[in-house]
Structure formats: C-alpha cells, structure tokens
Structure 1
Amino acid sequence: MHRILASLAFLTLCAFLIIFLWRVPRVDLGILFLVTLAMAAYDFLFYHHTDRR
C-alpha cells in the first residue's frame, strides 16, 4: 500500500512540474525541475526499496 501511495505522489509531482515548466519555459526552472525529480526519484527508489516492514 505504501508503494502505491508513493508512486501516486511521485506521478503527481511529475505532472505538476511538467505543467509548470510547460507554462513557464525557463532554463533555470528546467534545472530546478531536474534536481527536484532526481531527489524525489532517489527517495522513492532507495527509501521504499529498503522498507520491508
């Protein structure tokens, strides 16, 4: 259940950032977009991968 909710949260974050970047196309926001997605992906992959409760 936690993995499903984490996936939904990650997809919602991706959708928000893509829409935001599409409406305001700037290079600095694109860099922020990539950094934010990288941190969220790291958290999703490594934190939930080791969570075996």
Structure 2
Amino acid sequence: MLNRIMTIVALAVFLGFLGILVWHIPRFDLGAVLAVTVALVLWDVFTTSFDA
C-alpha cells in the first residue's frame, strides 16, 4: 500500500515539474519530447507498481 502511495506522489511531483517546464518554455519540440517521456514513465509505473 505504501509503495503505491509513494509511486503516486512521485508521479505527481514529476508531472508537476514537467508542467512547469512546459509552461515556462512553450515550444513544440520540447512538448513532444516530454510527451514521449511521460508516456514511457506512465507505462513503466503501471506495469511495475500496479501489478497485481
């Protein structure tokens, strides 16, 4: 249970940081790289942390 909570908190902090980065540097190429990065992170989180 604690592992899932820590995973969600870490994911929220990571997404918050990337959101601030995109907000202050609104460029398409940066947004594309960050979108791929977020997709890979979400795939990793859901395949490792939320495995039954």
TM-score, scaled to structure 2: 0.89
Greater RCO (Cα-Cα under 8 Å, separation 6 or more): 2
1:16 counterpart = 2:21: no
TM-score, scaled to structure 1: 0.87
How far is 1:39 from its partner? 0.8
RMSD (Å) for aligned C-alpha atoms: 1.0
How far is 1:48 from its partner? 1.1
SS at match of 2:37: helix
Please list every run of 5 or more consecutive structure 2 residues that lacks an aligned counterpart in the other structure.
none
How far is 1:16 from its partner? 0.3
The answer (yes or no) to whether the contact 2:22–2:30 under 8 Å persists in 1 is yes
Q: Look up the equivalent residue of 1:29 and give its one-letter code.
A: L
Please list every run of 5 or more consecutive structure 1 residues that lacks an aligned counterpart in the other structure.
none
**1:1-53 to 2 correspondence within 5 Å?**
1-50=2-51
